[in-house]
């Protein structure tokens, strides 16, 4: 390894104590703080608890939950940004409607945005930046996806001849599974390593769920659900991630047939699950939170977004995390927990190894392989997962990150209070 890649690794290992963890833990009136972070359960696409629920309806429930849990006056929320990937029209119409149904006034603006798998995080960072610039005082960043209703071939539009005739541009259209196979071969990530990582994700998630460690971050929602056996519609309460499977081991995963190539290593057991869900984060300045009597659970410190080769999109966190750490003025060793999205075990394993991160700091309650990756939701979901685990373990600093389709990566640094 040489050149830019080597320099990035050096940055991750030797970022000087320009600020240091003790400094980013200090409290200032202009800090952008989080006073509520919650999510719905994540359910199996086409099969789970939200299979018959529109994305906007899940989002409405989460919006109501933010109002109820935080006690915020809805009239004070000036803007809501919602990350989504598959919703037609970017979800602009239904998300505005969802906010109104949830109890926000007509004065609260709403937008949908799509930066693929980092859409939820981008939505939150957009709100943080709007507050920091003085554009608004209080806002919500959120993410939602119904992969049950909107996932499929139509998610990728047709390319023009102009785009197809440019090599890197054409690579943006390569399907994720095929792309991940190519990356695994290019970066020499073995099937055994992928299956071992995936099994660990399942095992951590099973342990966490049995111990009730997700309950604080999950908002139970009542929804209509049609029983596929009887075709009877009922009202059910969705309060737990239903994709978590017990008994997963490297050996059992090793028996699953590769999904994208006969000699491949990517399969349904070591890739993220297709899921439905929503999450939201309430943000404002510290001075505003104190004036309103809002309980501060943590603060936003820094974020980064970077580009990488489209065919190597999975390496995005490896490039984005050092940039976010440098902006925060801390080293990789100052971080207590890393929530790195498990789009595929292959890319997560490679990023963790290249950055030299201890496995015990990675997704301590499991990740998307175990409980799902509703595309636009994940970047927001990670924050509720992160803050509840930092609180439970009495730790302070966390990083959320993910690779992004077409060749990008995003990361953010957070501090619990």
Active site residues: 117, 373, 403
- Please give the full DSSP string across 255-305, using - where no structure is assigned: TSPPSS-TT----TTSBPPPEEEEEEEEEEEHHHHHHHTPPP-EEEEEEEE
Measured between alpha carbons, how far apart are the two ends of the chain, in Å? 39
Residue with tokens 């809501």: 80
Note the maximum CA span of the chain: 63
DSSP state of 105: -
* 413 Cβ contact partners less than 8 Å away, ≥ 6 residues apart: 24, 300, 301, 302, 303, 324, 325, 327, 328, 330, 335, 397, 398, 399
Find, among 93, 84, 74, the residue nearest to 147 by Cα: 84
Cα separation, 97 vs 106, in Å, equals 10
C-alpha 343: how far from chain center: 10
Distance CA 313, CA 403 (A): 6
Between helix 345-355 and helix 191-210 the angle, nearest 10°, is 100
DSSP for 312-368, written as a single string: GGGGHHHHHHHHHHHHHT--GGG-SEEEE--SBHHHHHHHHHHHT--GGGB-TT--H
Helix (H, G, I), strand (E, B) or coil at 68: helix
Distance CA 191, CA 189 (A): 7
């Amino acid at each position: 390894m040489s050149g830019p890649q080597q320099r990035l690794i050096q940055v991750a290992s030797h970022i000087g104590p320009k600020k240091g963890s003790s400094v980013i833990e200090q409290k200032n009136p202009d800090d952008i703080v989080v006073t509520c972070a919650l999510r719905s359960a994540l359910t199996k696409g086409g099969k789970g608890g939200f299979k018959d629920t529109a994305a906007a309806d899940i989002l409405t429930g989460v919006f109501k939950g933010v109002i109820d849990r935080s006690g915020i006056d809805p009239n004070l929320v000036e803007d809501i940004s919602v990350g989504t990937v598959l919703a037609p029209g970017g979800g602009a119409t239904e998300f505005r409607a969802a906010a109104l149904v949830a109890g926000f006034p007509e004065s609260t603006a709403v937008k949908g945005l799509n930066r693929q798998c980092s859409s939820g995080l981008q939505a939150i960072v957009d709100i943080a930046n709007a507050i920091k610039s003085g554009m608004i005082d209080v806002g919500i960043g959120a993410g939602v996806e119904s992969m049950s209703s909107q996932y499929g071939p139509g998610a990728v539009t047709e390319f023009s001849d102009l785009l197809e005739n440019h090599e890197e541009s054409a690579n943006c259209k390569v399907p994720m599974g095929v792309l991940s196979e190519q990356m695994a071969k290019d970066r020499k990530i073995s099937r055994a390593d992928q299956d071992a990582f995936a099994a660990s994700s399942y095992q951590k998630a099973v342990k966490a769920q049995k111990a009730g460690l997700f309950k604080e971050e999950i908002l139970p929602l009542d929804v209509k659900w049609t029983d596929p056996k009887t075709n009877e519609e009922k009202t059910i309460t969705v309060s737990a991630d239903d994709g978590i499977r017990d008994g997963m081991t490297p050996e059992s995963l090793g028996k699953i047939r590769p999904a994208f190539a006969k000699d491949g290593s990517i399969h349904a057991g070591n890739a993220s699950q297709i899921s439905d869900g929503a999450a939201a984060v309430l943000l404002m300045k510290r001075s505003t939170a104190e004036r309103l009597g809002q309980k501060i659970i943590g603060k936003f410190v820094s974020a980064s977004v970077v580009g990488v080769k489209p065919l190597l999109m999975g390496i995005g966190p490896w490039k984005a995390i050092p940039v976010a750490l440098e902006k925060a003025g801390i080293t990789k060793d100052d971080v207590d927990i890393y929530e790195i999205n498990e789009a595929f075990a292959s890319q997560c394993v490679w990023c963790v190894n290249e950055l030299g991160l201890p496995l015990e700091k990675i997704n301590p309650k499991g990740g998307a392989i175990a409980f799902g990756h509703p595309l636009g939701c994940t970047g927001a979901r990670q924050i509720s997962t992160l803050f509840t685990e930092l609180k439970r373990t009495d730790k302070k600093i966390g990083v959320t990150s993910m690779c992004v389709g077409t060749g990008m990566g995003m990361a953010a640094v957070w501090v619990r209070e």
